[in-house]
Chains A and B, each alone.
Chain A
Amino acid sequence: MRLRAHPVAGALALAVVGFLWIPILAVAVNSINQDSLMISWGGATAHWYTRALHDPNVRSGLTTTLEIALGSTLLSLVIAVSGALWWRRASARARAVYDATVYARIILPEVVFATALFFLFLKIHFPLGIAAIIVGHSVWNSAYAAVIIQARLVGLDPAIEEAAADLGATPWRAFRRVTFAALLPAIIAGGLLTFTFSFDDVVTSYFLGGNSATPLPLVLFGMIRFRITPEINAIGVMVMLFTVTLMGVAVAVFALMGSAGRGRRAALAEFYGR
């Protein structure tokens, strides 16, 4: 869209982009600002990064976050892959029901699931903490993973497992060498996505963490309430870089899958072209 041709829309667009990016820019700038009150530019320093990396709260928060993200990713992938394999052979009606539960977990507000699980865990005396957060994150993470993996599964010829069996593969070998191997790009992409979502989650972690588990976003949250220091900015920038890198890898994997799709279209075009 040419901004000059649509002055109102153009101004709005610029304002939105400004509101989105100026705070992030400010965070990045202040993370290397020597002025600890962040009122003016006091020259560049890496001091806040060093401090953040040596802060025991930040370090334990990061460890907790990584444990949760890893645990939730694994649990979500197991749920999503086994669900997808069932889905492939299910009746149209069973599929519709399953799809509805998947989309419900994506659409319904996170806070609803978080409170529900909170009361459930209290009732069954499941201790709040890392395990509880992993379960909580997996509620929506498994749904995102399911959508990605099912998309790949739909493109697979159902006959390939029969072909593997026909060529001498036992059911387990056929699964490993054919179904799982063909799904692997989608599993990797889904895993990266769920890891990222889990990494920066606040709501579910807040409800289900109890006293024992404080992941990094909640550490930041606590620090902000106490006092805003440039250290927080440094942590923010590091989390941002980490997340962006993971998303970049995910996008690259998607692009590879996509290019395979284009190759198929090109082959079809070549085939029908003559």
Chain B
Amino acid sequence: MSGVSSVRLSGVEKRFGELVAVRSIDLDIAAGEFFSIIGPSGCGKTTTLRMIAGFERPTQGTVEIAGREVTGLPPYRRPVNTVFQSYALFPHLDVFENVAFGLREARVPRAELRRRVAAAISLARLDGRERARPNQLSGGQQQRVALARALVNRPEVLLLDEPLGALDLKLRKEMQGQLKDLQREVGITFVYVTHDQEEAFSMSDRVAVMDHGQLEQVGRPEDVYRRPMTPFVASFVGLANQLTGRVAGPAAGERYEVDLDHLGRRLAHGPPGLAAGTAVSVVVRPEDLRLTPADTQAGPAAATVVDAAFLGAHRTVRLDAGALGQLVAIGQGQSALAPDDKVVLSWADDDAWAVPAAEEG
């Protein structure tokens, strides 16, 4: 990573009439980075991508690509290419001509065009299918044509809009690995939009979480998972047990003392600057929740097993923790648990993370 910014959004906002699709986003994506934007449907992630591509013009703010402002430029004048969710392959052209489309528009000389198209087709492992029409290809092959058609132009930035959404699970997993390898190989900045947080985590250098048109958090996948800044991020990114409480004050080791409802005072990490009295949710990830079998339902940290589901590598245990609500635990040493078993909950202080509670809470 050279540290040069590949895509920069400054104060970008997009309104469709009354509806605010994206509100005041600042985003800096480094050259060569695999960057993902995740969020539920309607959160504005696709609109953001379309503003980078040039299909939508921001109502406010500026878009820069490779240090050049492109806010007012149409898509055909931007050094970016897109892999569409529906692939949008040209049905009347064969694989070769689909891939060659951009180079023909750029009037690339014939010999070079042939060479580059052949290379892109090889990269996408489509050798031998040059003369096939899109409707003669499988879903996975169509996806790779879309990828080759975009990459052959050597864009500054490759934009991918849920490119794996139409594939079945097994193919998806395969393609995730291939996409990551490909990105490393070509060294082009990838901006990847998906609603699938696992998919984004498995490939990305950094992810941005969006909700209601707003950037909730930007960071490395581990940071976003381990140190969510809002309750939304905590619940959207993986499973989270959230326990409500109030900050009592700072503690040693950049931690806080938190008074948890029904459980009393505990230690938790958290973002800097939480004032005493702030309402917080303390996040304990399911894999960090320890369950100790107990004979009787006693004490505030007690719970009853609702069910235990076997998922191959680990088990997911759903718990009824009374006033604390429904909790989930995943993992180690719980194979003996059965519904209606009584357990006592515990976790290491280092595995607790306090998030300022949502305003309405």
Residues on A close to B: CB < 8 A? 155-157, 159-160, 162-170, 173, 177-178, 181-182, 184, 260-261, 263-264, 266-267, 270-272
On whether the beta carbons of B101 and A164 are closer than 8 Å, the reply is yes
List chain A residues, Cβ under 8 A from B76: 165-170
On whether the beta carbons of A182 and B92 are closer than 8 Å, the reply is yes
List chain A residues, Cβ under 8 A from B149: 163, 167
On whether the beta carbons of B75 and A263 are closer than 8 Å, the reply is no
List chain A residues, Cβ under 8 A from B53: 166
User: In the complex, A157→B135 CA distance in Å?
Assistant: 12
Smallest CB gap from B107: residue in A = A168
Given the known inter-chain contacts A181-B92, A182-B90, A182-B91, please indicate yes or no for A167 contacting B81, CB distance below 8 A: yes
Stretch in contact with the other chain, from B9-17, B136-144, B239-247, B270-278: B136-144
B86 at interface (Cβ–Cβ under 8 A)? yes
Q: Can you list 7 A-B pairs, Cβ within 8 angstroms, ordered by A?
A: A159-B88, A166-B53, A166-B75, A168-B102, A184-B92, A263-B135, A271-B139
List chain B residues, Cβ under 8 A from A160: 88-91
Smallest CB gap from A264: residue in B = B135
User: In the complex, A267→B140 CA distance in Å?
Assistant: 11
Q: How far is the CB of A162 from chain B (nearest CB, A)?
A: 6
Smallest CB gap from A152: residue in B = B91
List chain A residues, Cβ under 8 A from B281: none
User: In the complex, A178→B150 CA distance in Å?
Assistant: 16
Q: How far is the CB of B292 from chain A (nearest CB, A)?
A: 45
User: In the complex, A178→B76 CA distance in Å?
Assistant: 14
List chain A residues, Cβ under 8 A from B133: 260, 263
List chain B residues, Cβ under 8 A from A162: 55, 75, 82, 84, 88
Smallest CB gap from B142: residue in A = A267
Q: How far is the CB of A116 from chain B (nearest CB, A)?
A: 39
Q: How far is the CB of A171 from chain B (nearest CB, A)?
A: 8
List chain A residues, Cβ under 8 A from B54: 165
B74 at interface (Cβ–Cβ under 8 A)? yes
B153 at interface (Cβ–Cβ under 8 A)? yes
Smallest CB gap from A261: residue in B = B135
Given the known inter-chain contacts A166-B75, A167-B101, A168-B153, please indicate yes or no for A267 contacting B88, CB distance below 8 A: no
Smallest CB gap from A167: residue in B = B102
B311 at interface (Cβ–Cβ under 8 A)? no
List chain A residues, Cβ under 8 A from B101: 164, 167, 169, 177
Question: Which of A160, A164, A167 is most buried by chain B, counting CB atoms within 10 A of its CB?
Answer: A167
List chain B residues, Cβ under 8 A from A164: 90, 101
B174 at interface (Cβ–Cβ under 8 A)? no
Choose from B87, B102, B136 the contact partner of A263 (Cβ within 8 Å). B136
On whether the beta carbons of B105 and A169 are closer than 8 Å, the reply is yes
On whether the beta carbons of B137 and A168 are closer than 8 Å, the reply is no
Q: How far is the CB of A273 from chain B (nearest CB, A)?
A: 10
Within 8 A of A (CB), among B112-169: 133, 135-140, 149-150, 153, 168
Given the known inter-chain contacts A156-B91, A260-B133, please indicate yes or no for A166 contacting B81, CB distance below 8 A: yes
Having A260-B133, A263-B136, A267-B135, one finds 12 other A-B pairs with CB under 8 Å, namely A162-B55, A163-B90, A163-B149, A167-B81, A168-B76, A168-B105, A181-B90, A263-B133, A264-B135, A266-B136, A267-B136, A271-B139
Q: How far is the CB of A271 from chain B (nearest CB, A)?
A: 4
B106 at interface (Cβ–Cβ under 8 A)? yes
Question: Which of B74, B76, B84 is most buried by chain A, counting CB atoms within 10 A of its CB?
Answer: B76
Q: How far is the CB of B97 from chain A (nearest CB, A)?
A: 10
Q: How far is the CB of A252 from chain B (nearest CB, A)?
A: 17
On whether the beta carbons of A173 and B88 are closer than 8 Å, the reply is no
On whether the beta carbons of A267 and B86 are closer than 8 Å, the reply is no
User: In the complex, A268→B92 CA distance in Å?
Assistant: 18
User: In the complex, A28→B157 CA distance in Å?
Assistant: 69
Q: How far is the CB of B51 from chain A (nearest CB, A)?
A: 13
User: In the complex, A269→B92 CA distance in Å?
Assistant: 21
Smallest CB gap from A164: residue in B = B101
User: In the complex, A159→B162 CA distance in Å?
Assistant: 14
User: In the complex, A44→B91 CA distance in Å?
Assistant: 52
Q: How far is the CB of A43 from chain B (nearest CB, A)?
A: 54
User: In the complex, A168→B85 CA distance in Å?
Assistant: 19
Question: Which of B54, B74, B88, B137 is most buried by chain A, counting CB atoms within 10 A of its CB?
Answer: B88
User: In the complex, A62→B84 CA distance in Å?
Assistant: 52
List chain B residues, Cβ under 8 A from A156: 91
Q: How far is the CB of B11 from chain A (nearest CB, A)?
A: 25
List chain A residues, Cβ under 8 A from B89: 157, 160, 163
Question: Which of A156, A157, A168, A177 is most buried by chain B, counting CB atoms within 10 A of its CB?
Answer: A168
Given the known inter-chain contacts A162-B55, A167-B153, please indicate yes or no for A260 contacting B135, CB distance below 8 A: yes
User: In the complex, A270→B138 CA distance in Å?
Assistant: 7
Convert B69-82 into 0s and 1s, putting 1 for each residue whose CB lies closer than 8 angstroms to a CB of A: 00000111000111
List chain B residues, Cβ under 8 A from A178: 90
Q: How far is the CB of A153 from chain B (nearest CB, A)?
A: 12
List chain B residues, Cβ under 8 A from A168: 76, 102, 105-106, 153
List chain B residues, Cβ under 8 A from A272: 168
